[in-house]
Structure 1
Amino acid sequence: MTDLRTITVLVVDDSALMRNMVGDIVKATPGLKLVGSAKNGLEAIEQVRQLSPDVVTMDIEMPKMDGLQALARLMTDSPVATVMLSAHAKEGAESTLLALELGAVDFVTKPSGSISLDIDKVREELVEKIRMAAGVDLAKLRPGSNQRPPQAALEGKISTGIMRTLAIGSSTGGTRALAEILPKLPREINAALLLVQHMPVGFTKSLAERLDNRSKIRIREAQEGDVLERGLALLAPAGYHMELSPSGDRITLNQDPPRFGVRPSVDVMMESVALYSPAETVGVILTGMGHDGANGVAGMKKRGGHIIAEDRSTCVVYGMPKAAVETGAVDEVLPLDQIPGAIVRACR
């Protein structure tokens, strides 16, 4: 996929109005071409086979076959880069997270529910994610594509020394990466964990709950004043920056302006960890678009932190890790399946 090639798009939604509105956005955007539309999952599967689009925009709630069922079939039989269109509701959040696990590249939240007459509000985001999706390696999106036997490094004695502060940042593809890493960490890991995953408002609580249900460590959406604890991971709530307090033992939340267009920001979190952590620190940058986290890992490294970045070979989008590596602050560049072991070693 090159920047000069026209990106072909199939729009899937059970609402004729939404198909037309999303289709109009595609048709009005230079470099994108609308090649077809479908009103349910069954039609989508047939259209993908006939038209071979570069990208599919997929609604979730549809008759006959919903978007999740269609996505699962497509990723098995006819893999295609897919951007989901999701509702704000809790049920929509859970379905969207499942879609990401099934192999969707990313998602865009409909501004006002299933029939969003104001879909133009997310025009820029939708176009950006369609363009980004067209360039991903589909092999990395198949369910279980990064699953390998647990690493031996996860076994053995866990340190009971001074608790480390572990900061992890991710964006596009990050929900799947976190689902690969966090369940492999031992309950007794010698670290308090701070997590930033770029997501819209309304999704981080569901993500924390899903990850918690699968992991030995505890994971929850952060709240103002939460105290750092060994084996507890605090996920920054969407719409809030999360920082380590000057006391170094708890987190604070704020709605200061977005940093480089994102809030929460990995940089904001990691810079505070570099400044205020009373113990040794470990920073991890996972798959994601852009360069959030690059300044943060540089700051952590200057103060003695150990930095890990995900290798290009397993990244859905090699943006954030690439920017981190280019700072010269990264100690280890590893494929996803080797990162849990590296984290445990660094936290001993």
Structure 2
Amino acid sequence: MLRPINVLVVDDSALMRRIIARLLGMQAGIKVIDTAVSGEEAIKKVHALHPDVVTMDVEMPGLNGVQTVSRLMKECPVPVVMLSAHTTEGARVTMEALAAGAVEFVPKPQKTGGTEQMVAELARKIRVARRASVKKCFAAPVEPRSTQARFRKTGPASAKDTSAHGSTPASTSADGQTGSADVSTAATTRSASKITGKPAVNIPSKAARSNSAAAYPTPPIASRPTAVRTTAGFKKISAGQTELVVIGSSTGGPAALQMLLPALPGDLPCGVVIVQHIPVGFSGPMAEHLNRKCKLEVKHAEQGDRVMPGLVLVAPAGYDLTFRKYAGRLTVALDKGNKPVPPGGFRPSVDVVMNSAADVVGGRTLGVLLTGMGRDGARGMLSIRQRGGRTIAQDESTSVVYGMPKAAADLGAAEKILPLHGIAEEIVRLV
């Protein structure tokens, strides 16, 4: 019989400590060994009791959740699952906690009677966190020197408007009534040749990007091209032909993205789409958090947004994201779906996004799979590779959970398997 997962519950509310401890104790395979009322007490009890997993409220007086996680990762690393308020501030602090080393988080219930459902979700994520390799992930350097050295040679860091940091650029409606901009004339020319040795590309300015959805509405589905599947082996496109990078991640993903994306140059000559498994209401704050840290522009994707060089689109939680191509312009389409997500499924799904990229963009796609539980993305990545695209999977030594990248490797979908701190340089080399 397997040993139960020993859990320390940390919350400054006596009522919440009792409720969470009691309900978790009713979950199969989980044992609450103690509780703590503050960050300071939590650190002491982790040292003394060595729990398998810690659940922690984000907002606590004194040493708050983020500060406590930071201390734990330095002194006695342990998988931490955060309890997050469903507010703008709560989401922002949750992103900071994930960056500090927390493995997962669960939103607190927004209405009365949701506590049992929250604890059931908490139990599921505790089981995932138990398998997390916290020490491995945070041993990796944030920015590989070689990639940063290449970037520094280019001069100005980015065309991002530094005065707007912390806010997601507004996207005009797809009907075009808010006006449009001539992207070609509004574009800021920034050369990628100093990084990659390839021809220069025009990277649209922030103003041009924000108006792109209005200027170029989403085309009809019938305009989607049909790609031809490669049947004899895996053909490869040459470096410098990439139009789209799709990055998928799950457990440990927010922290991994905060290592990977800041290491990419602001004049990356292709668009990037991020697919992170995350609860509804938190993908927007994650995009804002990444935007503050990156040279690239990071935006929460909206219907009809263009995929363009220098721009990262984050797939919204609760929506399927697919691609449309019309008159040479690649855009994203969002769909909430008319059926619930099946057990074990996700919305957005990495497989759905990568399969769509393979269908629409074909071999000009680069697929990347980062840390995460399960198999989502493996088949989508195989589709990309079969159409001649390039593929990279994060290795086991730097993955918090070596599930999704392992599934891709086992399927033969991963062309390269690299440590997290080597992926940015490989992306720059391939695009």
Q: Determine if contact 1:163/1:192 at 8 Å carries over to the other structure.
A: no
Once the two structures are aligned, what percentage of the paired residues are identical? Answer: 44
Moved segments of 4+, more than 4 Å: none
Aligned to 2:283: 204
Shift of 1:62: 1.7
Matched, 1:68 2:61: no
For 2:392, the aligned partner's letter is I
Aligned to 1:287: 371
Q: Determine if contact 1:226/1:251 at 8 Å carries over to the other structure.
A: yes
Between the two proteins, the alignment pairs up a number of residues equal to 342
Aligned to 2:35: 37
Q: Determine if contact 1:159/1:190 at 8 Å carries over to the other structure.
A: no
**Equivalent of 2:335, from 254, 258, 266?**
254
Please give the alpha-carbon distance, in whole angstroms, between the structure 2 residues aligned to 1:80 and 1:148.
24
Q: Alignment RMSD, CA only?
A: 2.0
**Equivalent of 2:304, from 187, 202, 225?**
225
Please give the alpha-carbon distance, in whole angstroms, between the structure 2 residues aligned to 1:48 and 1:177.
25
Q: Determine if contact 1:239/1:264 at 8 Å carries over to the other structure.
A: yes
Please give the alpha-carbon distance, in whole angstroms, between the structure 2 residues aligned to 1:138 and 1:167.
25
Aligned to 1:302: 386
Shift of 1:70: 1.9
**Equivalent of 2:398, from 311, 314, 318?**
314
Please give the alpha-carbon distance, in whole angstroms, between the structure 2 residues aligned to 1:182 and 1:147.
9
Shift of 1:140: 2.6
Aligned to 2:118: 122
**Equivalent of 1:238, from 286, 298, 317?**
317
Bigger CA radius of gyration: 2
Q: Which moved more, 1:259-268 or 1:313-322?
A: 259-268
Q: Where in structure 2 are the equivalents of 1:113-192 lying within 5 Å?
A: 117-142=113-138, 145-147=140-142, 149-151=144-146, 155=150, 156-160=195-199, 164-192=243-271
Mark the CA change 1:342 to 1:265 in structure 2 (over 3 Å): closer, same or farther. Answer: same
Please give the alpha-carbon distance, in whole angstroms, between the structure 2 residues aligned to 1:238 and 1:136.
23
Q: Which moved more, 1:169-178 or 1:39-48?
A: 39-48
Cα-to-partner distance string for 1:144-163 (whole Å, 9 max, x where unaligned): 64436423597233534655
**Equivalent of 1:103, from 101, 104, 116?**
101
Mark the CA change 1:230 to 1:163 in structure 2 (over 3 Å): closer, same or farther. Answer: farther
Please give the alpha-carbon distance, in whole angstroms, between the structure 1 residues aligned to 2:43 and 2:79.
13
**Equivalent of 1:83, from 61, 81, 84?**
81
Please give the alpha-carbon distance, in whole angstroms, between the structure 2 residues aligned to 1:169 and 1:157.
24
**Equivalent of 2:293, from 214, 217, 226?**
214
Q: Determine if contact 2:147/2:263 at 8 Å carries over to the other structure.
A: no
**Equivalent of 1:332, from 413, 416, 420?**
416
Please give the alpha-carbon distance, in whole angstroms, between the structure 1 residues aligned to 2:296 and 2:64.
33
Cα-to-partner distance string for 1:281-332 (whole Å, 9 max, x where unaligned): 1100000111110111111111111010000110000010011111112110
Q: Which moved more, 1:93-102 or 1:187-196?
A: 187-196
TM-score, normalisation: structure 2: 0.75
For 1:234, the aligned partner's letter is L
For 1:328, the aligned partner's letter is G
For 1:157, the aligned partner's letter is T
Please give the alpha-carbon distance, in whole angstroms, between the structure 1 residues aligned to 2:49 and 2:409.
39
Q: Determine if contact 2:196/2:429 at 8 Å carries over to the other structure.
A: no
Unaligned stretches of 5+ residues in structure 1:
none
TM-score, normalisation: structure 1: 0.92
Aligned to 2:44: 46
Aligned residue for 1:195, secondary structure, equals: strand
Q: Determine if contact 2:148/2:263 at 8 Å carries over to the other structure.
A: no
Please give the alpha-carbon distance, in whole angstroms, between the structure 2 residues aligned to 1:282 and 1:162.
10
Please give the alpha-carbon distance, in whole angstroms, between the structure 2 residues aligned to 1:82 and 1:255.
31
Please give the alpha-carbon distance, in whole angstroms, between the structure 1 residues aligned to 2:360 and 2:140.
38
Aligned residue for 1:249, secondary structure, equals: strand
Please give the alpha-carbon distance, in whole angstroms, between the structure 2 residues aligned to 1:208 and 1:83.
21
Please give the alpha-carbon distance, in whole angstroms, between the structure 2 residues aligned to 1:172 and 1:127.
15
**Equivalent of 1:17, from 8, 15, 18?**
15
Aligned to 1:276: 360
